Amino acid sequence: MTVHHPQTPQFFLTSPSPCPYLPGQAERKVFTHLVGERAPALLDLLSQGGFRRSQNIAYRPACERCRACISVRILVDEFVPGKSTRRILARNRDLVGRMATPSPTSEQYSLFRRYIDHRHAFGGMAEMSVLDYAMMVEDSQVDTRVIEYRRKGPDSAFTAQSDGDLVAVALSDVMADGMSMVYSFFDPEQDQRSLGTHMILDHIERTRKLGLSYLYLGYWVEGSKKMQYKIRFKPQEHLTPRGWERYDG
């Protein structure tokens, strides 16, 4: 008879469902719960194996005939912005990012709703209510932060009280070896800012300042236009059957 220690994580497998990235493919996921005081250490360990977090669930793809999802992390100490990324940083000089404990607001949800309706109207998050959004932000037993990006006000260098309109939000975890971008969204009417790229660049610098080595971006799916942006940030490492391997291609 197998005896499970009460603190040993148990893993479960989802039923097949349509893949959101590759047409005609079916996806399955293996997952476990992140609960209790051991949740941060468990997330650190599982992230090394390519798991991601969603609320109090850690999951990774476990598809039967497809291995297209590849875990990606940026080597922040070696990253140097190129010409295009420097232009994006310059374009967003009027923004300030504030990192705080995860606390959902109606302003965040309003921006989230505009982003989803414009970019992912038929996706899995299209029906999320304000309560669902609050759970996504708050339901975490690891070190989670919310970073709000706003237009600078006249006194933004001294106080957050004068910051302007909210234009982007990132929900991110701080782990033992790096930061992990769990979810981010932005004003869909400000495409010229390249806000998604700007948030990644800002997270690279935040991770570096925390003295950590990696920024985890989740999964890159070759052949999916939605995921193509993730391999622009080099050098980075990809999780392969042999472990994490450097990717400069």
Side chain identity at 247, as an amino acid letter?
Answer: Y
pLDDT, residue 199, reads 98
- What is the pLDDT of the chain when averaged over all its residues? 92
Within 10 Å of residue 30's Cβ, how many Cβ atoms?
Answer: 14
Q: What percent of the chain has pLDDT over 90?
A: 80
Q: What percent of the chain has pLDDT over 70?
A: 94
- Between 15-19, 117-121, 202-206, 219-223, the lowest mean confidence (pLDDT) is in 117-121
pLDDT, residue 157, reads 57
pLDDT of 218 higher than 80:
yes
pLDDT, residue 176, reads 97
Whether 80 and 124 have beta carbons less than 8 Å apart is answered as no
Quick one: average pLDDT of 139-151?
Answer: 97
pLDDT in tens, 91-106: 999 999 999 999 999 9
What contacts 24+ positions apart, CB below 8 Å, involve 60-65?
60/29, 60/30, 60/31, 61/27, 61/28, 61/29, 61/219, 62/13, 62/28, 62/29, 62/30, 63/19, 63/25, 63/26, 63/27, 63/28, 64/16, 64/26, 64/28
pLDDT in tens, 146-169: 999 999 876 655 555 557 899 999
Higher pLDDT among residues 126 and 5, named by residue:
126
pLDDT, residue 3, reads 42
pLDDT of 5 higher than 60:
no
Q: How confident is the model at residue 125 (pLDDT cuts 50, 70, 90)?
A: confident
pTM: 0.91
In the chain, the domains with their CATH numbers are: 12-70 (no CATH), 73-247 (3.40.630.30)
* DSSP H/E element including 59: strand 57-61
Side chain identity at 57, as an amino acid letter?
Answer: I
pLDDT, residue 161, reads 59
DSSP state, residue 204? H
Query: In whole angstroms, how far apart are CA 87 and each of 84, 92, 201, 230?
Result: 5, 9, 12, 18
pLDDT in tens, 70-81: 999 999 999 999
Q: How confident is the model at residue 249 (pLDDT cuts 50, 70, 90)?
A: confident
Whether 160 and 127 have beta carbons less than 8 Å apart is answered as no
Higher pLDDT among residues 53 and 4, named by residue:
53
pLDDT in tens, 49-67: 999 999 999 999 999 889 9
Closest CA to 54 of 31, 26, 20: 31
